[in-house]
Amino acid sequence: MDTRSVVAAFAESPALRATLAVLLEHECRLEFLNATPRGPSPASPPDLAVVAARTPTRLLGELTQRWPRLPIVAIDISGTDPRGLGRSAAPSSPPGIRLVPLEPHAIRTAVLQHLPARPDDALSAMTQAVAEVLQNELRYPFTALRSLSAPPATRAGASTYPILGAIMREQAQVLAEHVADLHTFLARPRAVELSNQFMTELCHQLEHAADGARQPSLLWDRYIDTAAPAALGPVALAPVVARFLWAYVHRRADTAVASVHLNSTTVTITYPLRPSVADQAAAWPFLLARLTLQPWAWRIRARCAHGAETLVLSPAGGTSWQGRRVP
């Protein structure tokens, strides 16, 4: 069931309709309606209306008359100077109507600001992301274990048993690693103080994340450029995030060396990408690292170019608190 907010869009041309679809189709459920006055309208009030018409006066009037509490984003497609539009329209526009220029960022920002917050949206998105990643990564291990333990496989020749056993042990280890990562995520500290030592501690933990692991260590070539004060981050979570990042880089790096660059606001990790994993979707450790940092206004991005992958950790926005507890 689609639980996204419903946006009634009135666009008078196919080009405007395509523009709104590209900008908003992933953020809400768009319902394109006739942009002429007295055109068909939804049976129930939408959460927001977007109007892109050269002469929207009558349409705006009918919308505000039918749904007085409906927030409306009206797009100026006449080519008026956006600054002049804002100054002249602000005093006379009804409170529920937001006037914006025909500019993608302005349209998208205005719509997202007026969409009602749904309490379950964040949880639904997180659940979907976890389910998709686990489905992609564990489909083969479960299929292999199920097929190799079936009766035809158990009647194989004696020389085949060691091979089957090795494959089953390998896939069982994959499942065990995913479960262990999940337990690490669930046991992460909840009460965390923010500190400007977060990025330095994260790099220190990356260098020791392989201690006690079966896989060989990675060599982290660190470069620090922190002339300005470092951004605040959840320093107690550095060991957890480092473990997930180390696991992610270890499975994707084509060499045993990864470079780490620190400045006052970002940690950048770069390494040659293994060709066999270049087309693979986000991995389980990467998702857990992202979910670990998300409540603390930090984000992780990954980008690939010219045979290398780069991970960028940075604050997602300003943080004014010094400590916080996550449920």
pLDDT in tens, 206-252: 988 876 555 666 788 888 887 778 889 999 999 999 999 999 999 89
Q: What is the pLDDT of residues 117-148, one digit of tens each?
A: 665 666 777 888 899 999 999 999 999 888 87
CB 266 within 8 A of CB 226: no
Q: Pull the structure tokens for residue 182.
A: 């999940």
CB 7 within 8 A of CB 31: yes
With a cut of 90, say whether residue 112 has pLDDT above it: no
Q: Which of 256, 252, 257, 264 is nearest to 197 (CA)?
A: 264
Q: What is the pLDDT of residues 167-189, one digit of tens each?
A: 889 999 999 999 999 999 999 99
Q: Which residues pair with 273 in a beta bridge?
A: 253
Q: Which amino acid is at 121?
A: D
- Choose the weakest-confidence range: 28-32, 52-56, 84-88, 262-266: 84-88
CB atoms within 10 A of CB 235: 19
- Choose the weakest-confidence range: 18-27, 157-166, 287-296: 157-166
Query: Would you tell me the crossing angle of helices 284-293 and 161-186 to the nearest 10 degrees?
Result: 10
With a cut of 50, say whether residue 88 has pLDDT above it: no
In the CATH hierarchy, which fold is given to the domain comprising 188-327? Heat Shock Protein 90 (3.30.565)
How much is the average pLDDT of 286-304? 92
Q: CA dihedral in degrees (93, 98, 99, 101; nearest 10)?
A: 170
Q: Which of 265, 267, 269 is nearest to 317 (CA)?
A: 265
Q: Which CATH number fits the domain 6-114, given the four candidates 3.40.50.720, 3.30.70.1520, 3.30.2020.30, 3.40.50.2300?
A: 3.40.50.2300
In this prediction, residue 205 has a pLDDT band, given cuts at 50, 70 and 90, of very high
CA distance 54 to 172: 63
In this prediction, residue 259 has a pLDDT band, given cuts at 50, 70 and 90, of very high
Q: What per-residue string of b and e applies to 6-32 under the rule 16 or more CB within 10 Å gives b?
A: bbbbbbbeeebbebbeebbeeebebee
Q: What is the pLDDT of residue 171?
A: 92
CA distance 190 to 292: 10
Residue spans of the domains in the chain: they are: 6-114, 120-187, 188-327
- Three-state DSSP at 50 gives strand
